[in-house]
Amino acid sequence: MSRLTGFAVSHWADDPWARGSWSLIGRDGSPQDRLGLGAPIGTRLRIAGEATHPTRAGMTHGAYEQGTEAAVWALRQRHSRVAVVGAGMAGLAAARTLRSQGADVIIWEARDRPGGRTAPAEITDAAGTARDPDDRITFDLGANWLQQYDDNVLARLAEQLALRSVPTDFNEPLILNAPTDPAEEIEIELRARLDAAPEGASIADVLHEWLRAPGPWDPQAVRRFVDAEIVMDSGAPLEWLSARHGFEPGVGEGDRWIVGGYRLLVDHLADGLDIRLRHPVTRITVDAGGVTLAGDAGSLRADAVIVTVPLGVLAADGIAFEPPLPETHRAALSHLGTGRVEKVILRFGERFWPPHPAGYFRVHGPTGNSISEWLDATAADGVPTLVGLFAGPWLDDLWTGTDEEIATRAAAVFTQAVHTPPEPSR
């Protein structure tokens, strides 16, 4: 393997202000839970954010749309002073919309930066010092792609700002250590089986039934498809994910990543807003005259509040609500959940992997449901750079120790796959 010259590692599962990567629908849930969570609570409180989008959850533009919708709701209620909790895409969208209509808006954000689960990566070089994030292209440790590109409000913003973006063809990854399977046929069959599953069934249930009597299907190919398309896109156990609703739309052909990172959008969106950083909210009280936010940094009174913290924070009771959230919202929180997808950015002295037109690689294994995918960012960065996404049960073993240890292990996974010839297709 070529020398590892720099790295950055994400820790979304342990991040107290994220508590997971993005929201998912568990076996007892449905998209109705997303709508339930986002339904206004009286006239002064509304939860927004990616988890509340019925069809575009888990994506930045879905979060943005929900923030905008919540702001329009607050304006219709004629609130002139609105508090927003969280400065991710939903919170920024809400605040900008409110401000554009003349409302007085203050955002309380727990972190020391806006952007939430879009997060610029600070690359630590092998000597252990943080590289100046401005001296090269910044990479994303959170959201990477503008998904559903043709119908994505943030993609239009990126175009308006003339940001450079690069397409990734997820349909044509170079699979490094496994044969190329007939993905389209498997997907059609799997979707038909998932759609026909009873409410309450999990993806594991459906898979188990299918592979008990696989007929003409190659069980290994089916498993690889599920790992690539469901485990990689959720980071959740298949026993928990809803068969009917857990395989949600998202990653696809034509998705583009922003050279320089989401930071370029976030900086634009945050510009001019009143964002109080390092202001975690621990309690929200709603009374007849308004709302009160409270936390270690003090308290804030407003006419209404839009809460855009991640699902994981709400589900862990990271904020106490007075009065408590209604039953519909609590039920939604118990039916939805979050998975774990982590990222690593690796820089090398030399490129030791083959060039591939899609700029995207996939590595299966070593154990079932363990999967990693790799974006080759070398052309944009000018330095051999890989952005790796990891999901599946092996994260428990891989993501331990120091970031350098994690990065070294991740690099070994990729290197080994590059040097393992794939078995021939059946």
Ligand X SMILES: Cc1cc2nc3c(=O)[nH]c(=O)nc-3n(C[C@H](O)[C@H](O)[C@H](O)COP(=O)(O)OP(=O)(O)OC[C@H]3O[C@@H](n4cnc5c(N)ncnc54)[C@H](O)[C@@H]3O)c2cc1C
In the window 271-300, what residues touch ligand X (CB under 6 A)? Answer: 280-281
> Using an 8 Å Cβ cutoff, are 33 and 336 in contact?
yes
Determine how many CB atoms are found less than 10 A away from the CB of residue 324: 9
117 forms part of the interface with ligand X (CB under 6 A): yes
DSSP state of 254: T
343 forms part of the interface with ligand X (CB under 6 A): yes
State the Cα–Cα distance between residues 116 and 86, nearest whole angstrom: 8
From residue 258, give the alpha-carbon distance in Å to each of 105, 155, 158, 255, 268.
29, 9, 8, 10, 14
CB of 68 to ligand X, least distance (A): 11
In the window 215-274, what residues touch ligand X (CB under 6 A)? Answer: none
Which one, 92 or 243, has the nearer CB to ligand X? 92
CB of 201 to ligand X, least distance (A): 26
12 forms part of the interface with ligand X (CB under 6 A): yes
Parallel, antiparallel or unpaired: strands 45-47 and 304-307: parallel
Determine how many CB atoms are found less than 10 A away from the CB of residue 224: 23
319 forms part of the interface with ligand X (CB under 6 A): yes
Q: Which of 190, 236, 305, 313 binds ligand X (CB under 6 A)?
A: 313
Q: Which of 71, 83, 95, 108 binds ligand X (CB under 6 A)?
A: 108
Listed in sequence order, the residues at least 6 apart from 374 whose beta carbon sits closer than 8 Å to its beta carbon are 360, 361, 362, 363, 386, 387, 388, 389, 414
CB of 26 to ligand X, least distance (A): 17
50 forms part of the interface with ligand X (CB under 6 A): yes
Which one, 16 or 349, has the nearer CB to ligand X? 16
First to last CA, the chain: 30
310 forms part of the interface with ligand X (CB under 6 A): yes
Which one, 176 or 266, has the nearer CB to ligand X? 266
83 forms part of the interface with ligand X (CB under 6 A): no
Residue 161 β-bridge partners = none
State the Cα–Cα distance between residues 49 and 59, nearest whole angstrom: 10
Which one, 249 or 354, has the nearer CB to ligand X? 249
332 forms part of the interface with ligand X (CB under 6 A): no
87 forms part of the interface with ligand X (CB under 6 A): yes
State the Cα–Cα distance between residues 364 and 82, nearest whole angstrom: 48
In the window 127-186, what residues touch ligand X (CB under 6 A)? Answer: 142-145, 147
Listed in sequence order, the residues at least 6 apart from 102 whose beta carbon sits closer than 8 Å to its beta carbon are 80
Among the candidate windows 83-91, 128-136, 218-226, 360-368, which touches ligand X by CB under 6 A? 83-91
Q: Which of 58, 237, 337, 392 binds ligand X (CB under 6 A)?
A: 58
Q: Of 205, 282, 217, 218, give the one whose Cα is nearest residue 246.
A: 205
CB of 61 to ligand X, least distance (A): 6
Residues at the contact surface with ligand X, assessed by CB under 6 A: 10, 12, 17-18, 21-22, 49-50, 58-60, 63, 85-91, 108-111, 116-118, 142-145, 147, 280-281, 308-310, 313, 318-319, 341, 343
